[in-house]
Amino acid sequence: MPKPYIYVTRPFADSGIKALKAKGYKVEVYDKDEVIPRKLLLQKAKGCDALLPLLTDKIDDEVLAAAGPQLKIVANYAVGFDNVDLKAAKKRGIIVTNTPSEKVNEAVAEHTFALMLALARRITEADAYAKAKKYKGWSPNNFIGTDLYGKTLGIIGAGRIGSAVARRAVNGFGMKLIYTDMRQNVDLERAYKATFMQQERLLQEADFISLHVPLLPSTRHLISTAQFSSMKKTAFLVNTARGPVVDEKALLRALKTKRIAGAGIDVFECEPAIDCDLTDNLELKNFPNVILTPHIASATIEAREAMSMVAAENIMAVLSGKEPLTPAK
């Protein structure tokens, strides 16, 4: 009986790859650190028993059909799975999994707070100023920022990552916590004296707003013109969730008109492009009160290794006839 064949669409932390090979599976990895060309993906997927793609790979019915009827699992190397056609997979009897883990939760929460602190204390502006040799001596008026202590953090999406951000906000910085979600999180309320409220009221009251929702039809452009109009002019927005959750054009207008104080953005609506439209002369990179990071919120050694192992464990479970650890749902 031939060994199960697993195709991996990009090299990454190799603990999971080693585990799959130790199991006796035939594992092939695309050898370039870039998005695999579509034509090659269709070719390499053919005959595989398990496909291990990244969030940058569009896994639709064409790919699933190219793989063949023996394909049992698509183990997406990401917490999100909006790049996989779940309906097409279900129709073909293919299991789809993702890679949530405590390590990922903590890494994204840390990055969220890094953006919040950098925005509040104007770190990137001050860094650029100092490196440009503009600093001529101390002044009481240089780069006046704002405290986090005592401010109100509004969390939109109080799941695992949102809760990790909440813990840091309350226990570490003495912030007040408000949140909104599809349902109340009683544990969050008990642990951090969090207050549940509808999104519109949250936007009106929060000094910092942090997004932690998946990309769904219902969350696309969740934050748009009306939402920015509800925010305080002193409020900061942080997005480490998915780019299209925020309407980029509405964000640009809000920044241009100083409707909000600034934004920390790790994900982009037209990713990998930083700006969707370069003809409107409103580029995110041109605003000094905007901090941009290239989708690296979960980029720690610990998180990447954990994601690798979760993906491998899902594959090993399914190919052994067992239930997956983290089915996408």
Cα–Cα distance for residue pair 237/203, rounded to 1 Å? 10
> 242, 259, 304, 313: which is the annotated catalytic residue?
242
Q: What is the CA radius of gyration of the chain?
A: 22
What's CA 303's distance to the chain center, in Å? 13
283 is catalytic: no
Amino acid at 206: A
305 is catalytic: no
Q: Using CA of residue 123, residue 290, residue 125, residue 175, what is the dihedral sign?
A: negative
> 221, 295, 302, 305: which is the annotated catalytic residue?
295
In the chain the first and final C-alpha atoms are separated, in Å, by 33
238-249 b/e with 16+ CB inside 10 Å = b? Answer: bbbbbbbbbbbb
> 62, 125, 189, 271: which is the annotated catalytic residue?
271
295 is catalytic: yes
Burial label, 292 (beta-carbon count in 10 A; 0-12, 13-18, 19+):
middle
Write out the catalytic residue numbers: 242, 271, 295
